[in-house]
Structure 1
Amino acid sequence: MEQDFRFSTEMEVSIGDINYGGHLGNDKFLVLFQEARLRYLDQFGFSEMSIGEDVSLIMSQAQVNFKAEAFWGDRLKILVRISHLEKIRFTFDYLIIKDEGAEVIVATGFTKMVGFNYKERKVKNVDRR
């Protein structure tokens, strides 16, 4: 599964990420996805607010599949790829792994992003380059 991804970044679980259950809170996974997505886009000189001329990104759907707990201080490897590229939208896939002597999948998920012009408040085509 990991070999299907060409980009990865690492993040550490901070104390602010921990919920009352003593593990990484479910809401924090979307924050991790966003940070990894920003780092992915940055390598190409893009950001969520600029992926082309007058085109930004807006999220239309998100899904997180929880597989294992993560705790304060855990180093997480987050893998990102783009799939399902269409005229106005595409999907970011995510794989979050931690190493406990062997790699453990913490979560998988996706976000569907749509090209959007925030000034015009309209959906825009996504440049396929």
Structure 2
Amino acid sequence: MARIQLQLPDKFLYETEIAIRISDLNYGGHLGHDTLLTLLQETRVNFYRTLGIKDELSLEGTVGQVIADVGVQYKSEVFFGDTLMVQLGVADIHKFGFDMVYRVTQKTSGKDVAIAKTGIVCFDYATRKIAPVPASLFSKINP
């Protein structure tokens, strides 16, 4: 079976640092895959906040988002005490959604930890149906 291949965007729109806690480790003694997804969500929510968006459920009015798919390419291990740099970019924008692409590196060494993407679909929580990307968000992620 072929391994997934993810492409980094031409530019990143947001960057943040995240310190790894002891509770972020799995029984293998390194960052758990479930925790990586939580760190990506934290990055995504903080990015939205820089755009003036309160949270993932209210991108505009009753339109929020759902995650349609996730892909991760792991590059190296992460341990307790490491600080990660997470960069976020946007790709494949279409009427109903877009991909958020993340580059995760170890801050001190610059070593790649992971490349990941989350497929975002806009969703109207009042009607329980997919919805177009709000124009206000579209203009901020597609300058």
* TM-score (ref. length: structure 1): 0.93
Using a 3 Å threshold, how does the CA distance of structure 1 residues 58 and 12 change in structure 2: closer, same or farther?
A: same
Aligned match of 1:28:
35
Q: Distance in 2 between matches of 1:12 and 1:72?
A: 8
Q: Distance in 2 between matches of 1:78 and 1:10?
A: 6
Q: Distance in 1 between matches of 2:58 and 2:89?
A: 18
Out of 60, 74, 79, which is 1:52 matched to? 60
Using a 3 Å threshold, how does the CA distance of structure 1 residues 2 and 83 change in structure 2: closer, same or farther?
A: closer
Per-residue displacement from partner, 1:93-129 (whole Å, max 9, x unpaired)?
A: 00001134x3100000100011101221110100222
Q: Distance in 2 between matches of 1:26 and 1:34?
A: 13
Matched positions, count:
128
| 4+ residue segments displaced more than 4 Å | none
Structure 1 residue 65, shift from structure 2 partner: 0.7
Give 5+ residue unaligned stretches, structure 2.
Answer: 1-7
Q: Identical aligned pairs, as a percentage?
A: 32
AA matched with 1:99? K
Aligned match of 2:122:
115
Aligned match of 1:17:
24
Equivalent positions of 1:1-129 (< 5 A) are 4-46=11-53, 47-100=55-108, 102-127=109-134, 128-129=138-139
Q: Distance in 2 between matches of 1:4 and 1:42?
A: 19
2:19–2:82 contact (8 Å) kept in structure 1 = yes
Q: Distance in 2 between matches of 1:96 and 1:28?
A: 13
AA matched with 1:59? I
Q: Distance in 2 between matches of 1:68 and 1:3?
A: 23
Give 5+ residue unaligned stretches, structure 1.
Answer: none
